[in-house]
Chains A and B, each alone.
Chain A
Amino acid sequence: MSIRTFRGGVHPPERKDRSQGTPIERVTSVPQVVIPVNQHFGAPIQPLVKVGEYVKAGQKVADAEGRMTVPVHASVAGVVKKIEPRMQSNNTEGLCIVIEPKDPPEGESAQDYMLPLDPFACSKEEALARIRAAGIVGMGGAGFPAHVKLAPTKPISYVIANAAECEPYLTIDERALLEIPEKVVDGVVIVMKTVNAPEGVIAIEENKKHAIPYVQKAIDENPQVKAGMKIRIQELRTKYPQGGEKMLITAITGRQVPSGGLPMDVGCVVSNVGTLCAIAEAFREGKPLIERGFTVTGGACKTPKNLVAPVGTLVSDLAKAGIVEIDDQSLGKVIFGGPMMGVALPSYEIPVQKNTSGVLLMSEQEAVQYEEDTCIRCGRCIRACPTSIFPALLAIAIESENYAEAEKIGLLDCIECGTCSFVCPAHRHLVQRFRVGKQVLRALKQKEAQNVR
């Protein structure tokens, strides 16, 4: 089996050893959950419950009509205490439903799951409806609604399970591969069935080689595979951003997702390990996405761990409960997500969301900040950029407010992976500049469109 990869990229220090060896720990009791109503990429939804209402775990608490919406479920059984704006992991205040756990009235179940559904006996529409009803979004980062992704309008030749986990520090996917590979494989199989793909690929980075036998075993044992479904494991070079959707596709198939296009344009569907597990659970157990696994690690975290906790768990509650020990003295930066693409937050009193793959508690030493120096035009970013969009030139174009040029260079193709900023010897805020640039460019385009009209 050859090791594949893509052009560009970097290899930041992994630092996965901290939490690599700790098995996934399930958090069951939390003092409260703060469930953000809008956790997905798409149209906003509204709460369906009122303050004081009793909700069961798995009960739908917010939803709305519309293709790009995903419902949200109560992750614990309890009473709705408040519905108010709270700081979310994207650094803005958003409407959250605060639920305090409470035992259900006598004789009633604390759970309100759906009935299991056999993915191989139902129609495609039923399957998609189930995925939506389970509130599944892409758990890798952006939170793209899974039912939309799994309803491609073009023929799909590959379903790719993204187990690259290229972000440093994060180990939850690795643990999942080691501990519940059968669930992952099951998820792949279900997705393959749903999108009618002939081949499934589980993409694993070289540094997680030790998980391959487990996964292989799970594949071999999977009844569907035995029945003839084709799933293989693809080893990939350890390199960031190997787990980027586009990079993954290029590494495995050699195809390039066209500019402005989606993976389905090149016949691929890419799903994160967590998403696949959630899909498997949604069908097999009828369990909506109310729990998620994530890694808590970082220099200021004394107990690096892989946890599975109800969606909406505040990290501060975990600390109070002693599940996670945080060194407040040395804590310098709180990041939800990985160090390359995660969001820095002002505190850790923030709920874990459906798309939170890790909570990074960086110490002061780790969280060094650099003053921006002038660009020395070394071209490191150009060599590292996985999308070949010449970050240095792009930054200059943006700085000189030449947005036409910036667009030509490929501003909108930037995947914000952070590679360029990582390698920059002058510590230029390249990614941030591109984010702002994208915003301005989109605004300009909108304005132009209005003027034309």
Chain B
Amino acid sequence: ADLPAIEKSGVLKVVTEDNYAPFNFITNGKPDGFNKDVLVELKKYTHKFKIKQSILPWTGLLAAVSSGQYDVAITGALITDDRLKALNFVAPLASAQDFYVKRAGDNRIKSVADLSGKTLGVQAGSALLARLPELVVMLAKTGGKLGKVVQYQSYPEAYADLANGRLDYVINAVISVNDVVKKHPNIFAKGQAVSGHGFVAWPVPKSSPKLLAFLDGFVKHLKDTGKLKELQLKWFGQAFDNLPDQPITNVEEFHRLAGI
């Protein structure tokens, strides 16, 4: 629903994930992560409505938002061309270039060129899957080609399979890559970038322009108060300073901002 309806009902229906560190994950049965802290801020930011949080698996999450079942997804969603056809995105909260992760000590892979023919794990229906063509182009430059691609319902399972050797590398957004490598330095190692720039942003249905503007205001508020930088440092280990300040609502804009 758009903002007026939300204010009338007094409830903002927010959907989050439970399986995508460091944005959303579960500690001892409770939601945790970057977006949990953001939600705390959002509650402080407005008193016009309550926030009702639902936790969904990634599968179907965006479809649920695009169909209006939820008002906004406060997740680590990435912007893609296909998604822009059905959703608008609030001003980005983090930059998201895609990187590969490999097993620590796997000496076969030293650079992107070595990925040729190796088995790759990505999440089904994800932005990373959508941006694989960029990797294909990179590999083609050195005469290589993409190996087998295995699609997972969520990333922890892909990491588990990377750890136990079923996969050779996993592609994920840089923040998640940093996170997993930081948590398990003896298991995983961060590789190089396999795509151009990208953005992490919250998707809102196309039919909610007022809500989009409201949330943009909230992001701006976070930036202005320095809270965003604090949270970025806390959860991502780095700050992203030159993020776009406006919402992204069409493909041309996205391509321009990402430099595709």
Bind each other: no
